[in-house]
Amino acid sequence: MHRDHIDPHPGPAVLGADARRPDGTRRALRIGLGGPVGSGKTATVAALCRALRDEVSLAVVTNDIYTREDAEYLLREAVLPPERITAVETGACPHTAIRDDISANLEAVEDLEDSVGPLDLVLVESGGDNLTATFSKGLVDAQIFVIDVAGGDDVPRKGGPGVTTADLLVVNKTDLAPYTGSDLGRMAADAKAQRAGLPVVFQSLREDEGVAAVTSWVRQRLAAWAA
Amino acid sequence: MSRAALLVLADGRFPAGGHAHSGGAEAAVHAGRITGAASLEDFCRGRLHTTGLVSAALAASAALGVDPAALDAAADARTPSPALRAAARKLGRQLLRAARATWPGVELDALARRFPKGAHQPVVLGVAARAAGLGPQDAAHCALYESVGGPATATVRLLGLDPFDATAVLARLAPEADRVAEAAVRAAHRVAEEGADALPAASAPLLELLAEAHAARTGRLFAS
Ligand SMILES: Nc1nc2c(ncn2[C@@H]2O[C@H](COP(=O)(O)OP(=O)(O)OP(=O)(O)O)[C@@H](O)[C@H]2O)c(=O)[nH]1
Ligand SMILES: [Mg+2]
């Protein structure tokens, strides 16, 4: 829910999903990336940063489970200046931090907007989790669920809130399909059946196309957010 | 006093960031000091009478309407570890957000304006209790329950401790927690009369030391 009007009882700071910052300006679009461990969330975030950093002002929040690996990978790869990457600690429970108790993530997002803003886009990466881990609407405006062909080609059929309700489903690592014996046609058919018309992208970050389809989906979201 | 509002505020699911913190339990597990239900109980009893008492007195004082800024400064002075001060402010900020959304009101707004990056969590807890229509006793009980509930849950995750055993530890400590709450409320009434110097300053040096070691460790599950 986005309130486009100024709150009648403005407090000192916004509380959650409010579309405007305390000074009345529109806040950044927030997109969450969730999905099982190792499916390619960080790699997708890194590729999105490289593709979009020259056209929009963006920042990343990572939710690592017990390391700072994701944040450190993004720093090492220098996909963004370090002050645009923040890691949130999640206390052994990644889905809690993105769904049930989003306060730490909201603070991370707002601190980024305060320190390096104004921002157009904040990508929030969840720690790797199970198929039921989805983002709260109080934290993100849209969410991408990233699975991969190596995690079994029956994942789209199994469904679960991530697969069925995410605004975009990404089936990553298609380059590995020949080696894992995954049936991409079956994955596509199952995903279509589960998602009631919501979009699905098959990608391999090891091939030329890379993150292009996801990038153009994000661009559409940005255009709609700014409109 | 509304008993139902107390349950809302004291509920471990109240979305105020507590799930990412262990109240020093992870560091104690790492140091070999918590190994099972018995040592968890000792650890929690220690917390009740030190950081728990101080937190409860801070919360009760704030619930009585004592100036939060004075209480926040007093909390700083009673928390030698920079890592623990940072954690307390972080949690205070998260609690403030949740409380403002739950019980909107001018006092919480004023607190957020005064401390945009967060005040000490027990101070916010006391102001939140006020906003919820609760009194100093309720605030003290919430603070004490949190001071042992967090470590108990964390130990279940860290050691695979039987969750029934962990909960039984909390139940066994309940009469002691009640007595500490009474002491905290008495202190809070003195604070309201005499100022923040009347707050207890019971400290647990090992908690402070281990918190510093924990903050420097990589590969931890909990933030503090
Ligand atoms: N072959 C292949 N490997 C990929 C692709 N995308 C990512 N990987 C690799 O898969 C591994 C895991 O990728 P990450 O991006 O770290 O996965 P993640 O989802 O962020 O993992 P967690 O955050 O630990 O849950 C890395 O070794 C990546 O290089 C792809 O399209 N093809
Ligand atoms: Mg990752």
Q: Give me the long-range contacts of B106-115 (CB less than 8 A, separation at least 24).
A: B107/B131, B109/A11, B109/A12, B111/B68, B112/A11, B112/A12, B112/A13, B113/A11, B113/A12, B114/B68, B114/B69, B115/B68, B115/B72, B115/B89
Distance (Å, whole) CA B188 – CA B54: 10
User: How distant is the Cα of B190 from the closest Cα of chain A, in angstroms?
Assistant: 32
> Is B24 within 8 Å of B210 (Cβ atoms)?
yes
Closest CA to ligand 1's atom 32: A173
- pLDDT tens-place string over residues B131-174: 999 999 999 999 999 999 999 999 999 999 999 999 999 999 99
In a domain, B115, yes or no: no
Domain of A122? Answer: 29-226
In a domain, A86, yes or no: yes
pTM of the model: 0.90
pLDDT, residue B1, reads 60
Report the pLDDT averaged over residues A114-132.
Answer: 93
Please give the structure tokens belonging to residue B12: 């471990």
Of the pLDDT bands very low, low, confident and very high (cuts 50, 70, 90), residue A4 is very low
Domain of B207? Answer: 26-86+126-215
Residue type for A24, please? G
In a domain, A17, yes or no: no
CATH number of the domain within which A137 lies: 3.40.50.300
Interface ipTM: 0.85
* Number of domains observed in the structure of chain B: 1
CA of A64 relative to ligand 2 center, distance in Å = 7
SS3 B54: helix
pLDDT, residue B186, reads 98
CA of B78 relative to ligand 2 center, distance in Å = 38
Please enumerate residues of A whose Cβ is less than 8 A from a Cβ of B: 9, 11-13, 15-16, 65-68, 89-93, 96-97, 100-104, 106-107
| Closest Cα in chain B to A15 | B97
* Number of domains observed in the structure of chain A: 1
Of the pLDDT bands very low, low, confident and very high (cuts 50, 70, 90), residue A68 is confident
pLDDT, residue A112, reads 96
In a domain, B6, yes or no: no
The strand pair at A168-172 and A121-125 is best described as: unpaired
SS3 A125: strand
User: How distant is the Cα of A107 from the closest Cα of chain B, in angstroms?
Assistant: 8
In a domain, B63, yes or no: yes
Of the pLDDT bands very low, low, confident and very high (cuts 50, 70, 90), residue A71 is confident
pLDDT, residue A7, reads 43
In a domain, B33, yes or no: yes
Q: Which helix (H) or strand (E) holds A32?
A: strand A29-34
Distance (Å, whole) CA B202 – CA B187: 12
> Is A46 within 8 Å of A74 (Cβ atoms)?
yes
Q: Examine residue A118 and say whether the peptide bond preceding it is cis (omega within 30 degrees of 0).
A: yes
User: Bridge partners of A26?
Assistant: A20
Please give the structure tokens belonging to residue A90: 């999640």
- pLDDT tens-place string over residues A7-64: 444 455 566 677 777 777 889 999 999 999 999 999 999 999 999 999 999 999 999 8
pLDDT, residue A130, reads 86
